Structure 1
Amino acid sequence: MKKRFIAGAVCPSCKAMDTMALTKEDGVEKVTCVSCGEQMTQPEAHVEKDVRANEQVIGIFNPE
Structure 2
Amino acid sequence: MTKVTTPSQLKAELESQKTYLLEACLMAFNQLPNQRTKGAFPSTYALAAKIDYLLQQEKK
- TM-score greater than 0.5 by the shorter chain: no
Question: Could you say which structure has the larger radius of gyration?
Answer: 1
